[in-house]
Amino acid sequence: MTGKNTDGRLVDLGSGDYAYLQEGGSWGWSNAGLVTSEGVSLLVDTLFDLTLTRQMLAAFAEATPASARIETLINTHNDGDHTHGNQLVPGARIIASAAATDAMTNGVQPSDYSQLLANAADLGDLGTFLKRNFGAFTFDDIDLVLPTETFVDRLTVTVGTKSVELFQVGPAHTPGDVIAYVPEDGAVFAGDIVFNGSHPVIWAGPPSRWVDACDLILGWNPETIVPGHGPMATQEDVRRLRDYFVTLVELGGELRQKGLTPWEAAEYVTSNGMWPTWGESERLIVNFASVYQQLGDEPTFPDPMEGLKAMAQFSLAHEMKETIA
């Protein structure tokens, strides 16, 4: 799956809640949500660039007048496809976990994306991969606005008369992942704890934390689940994702004992037709590296850029195989 995308789509979840879904859900094409009550609203995440975030805010504005009064913005984690549009929500209190805020402050900046894309021609497979997956986005006009409030573990915020429960479940996908739960409406805004229809990527881990996060969601028995990427999710989708991580840990232990590298483990999965309909199989390399680290190995990719390079090479190698076939 490439970075190509169709227009975003607004979904009315009922009870004054909305989701904004970007079809395909591949690299950078994330989802967001809106919770409204008593004429005010809470936004869950912004998008990867300003054009996309403006389109999303316009869709919310057409759906409900409450969108004009976004009092609170939740950033579920630090990745740019959930934070780069923060500047378009002026005056809102912006809340994230302390770990996510630290990662946002000290991690990859919008200018880093611009520089990588500008130098893509000199980066070989990595440059080709970056152009393909991130070339549709514009980063030069982003002035990243950081959270104004942070928390650890759990926080309750209100929007009108509704309570929104924030749970820090990271480190998992990233160091400080947060899930937003609206008990009154049975709605979960999962951020990138839920990828629906594609392989997740374990940037932080360990995988066992992700299993715990899935169990937390399932324990609420929610009516609606908005994933960070992909179409609306069901509880069965979350169970399937939970099983993915359990299988990854068990299989990773076996393949590690046999001496397979994370790349070879990823090849084993794809050659055996496991999760055949899920996109972004290149992420298996980083995921198996995380499993191996949980089992006691030194980090395979101490620098995340090395992991991205390996994923780029894996993706392009598999694309070449499919072309030849």
**161 belongs to a structural domain:** yes
CA distance readout (Å), 48 to 27, 113, 120: 10, 11, 19
- Judge whether 176 lies within some domain: yes
Q: Tokens in use for 39?
A: 């004429």
pLDDT reported for residue 317: 85
Q: Count structural domains, the chain.
A: 1
Q: 0.85 cut: is pTM over it?
A: yes
Per-residue pLDDT at 323: 54
| Spatial separation of the C-alpha atoms in residues 322 and 325, rounded to whole Å | 5
Answer yes or no: is 301 within a domain: no
Residues in Cβ contact with 231 at an 8 Å cutoff, skipping those fewer than 6 apart: 21, 23, 25, 196, 197
pLDDT in tens, the chain (325 residues): 334 445 799 999 999 999 999 988 999 999 999 999 999 999 999 999 999 999 999 999 999 998 989 999 999 999 999 999 999 999 999 999 999 999 999 999 999 999 999 999 999 999 999 999 999 999 999 999 999 999 999 999 999 999 999 999 999 999 999 999 999 999 999 999 999 999 999 999 899 999 999 999 999 999 999 999 999 999 999 999 999 999 999 999 999 999 999 999 999 999 999 999 999 999 999 999 999 999 999 999 988 899 999 999 999 987 755 555 4
Of 228, 223, 144, 161, nearest in space to 192 by CA = 228
Bridge-based pairing of strands 154-159 and 32-37 is unpaired
For 284-324, give the DSSP string: HHHHHHHHHHHTTPPPS-SSHHHHHHHHHHHHHHHHHHHHH
Is 127 a member of any domain? Answer: yes
Closest CA to 225 of 245, 204, 244, 241: 241
| 240 domain-assigned | no
Residue 282 covered by a domain: no
Q: What is the CATH number of the domain that holds 23?
A: 3.60.15.10
**Cis status, amide bond into 171, omega within 30 of 0:** yes
Does residue 143 form part of some domain? yes
What is the pLDDT at residue 7?
76
Give Cβ neighbours of residue 36 (< 8 Å, ≥ 6 apart).
16, 17, 18, 42, 64, 66, 67, 159, 160
* Cβ–Cβ < 8 Å for 78, 175: yes
Give the model's pLDDT for residue 322: 55
The token pair at 324 is: 């030849």
pLDDT of residue 129: 95
Q: What is the pLDDT of residue 325?
A: 47
Domain around 215: 8-233
Where do the H-state alpha helices sit in the chain?
50-63, 98-106, 110-118, 124-134, 207-220, 235-257, 262-271, 283-294, 304-324
Asked if 134 and 28 touch (Cβ cutoff 8 Å), the reply is: yes
The predicted pLDDT at position 104 comes to: 97
Instruction: Give a yes or no: residue 216 inside a domain.
Output: yes
Task: Give the pLDDT confidence score for residue 29 in this predicted structure.
Answer: 98
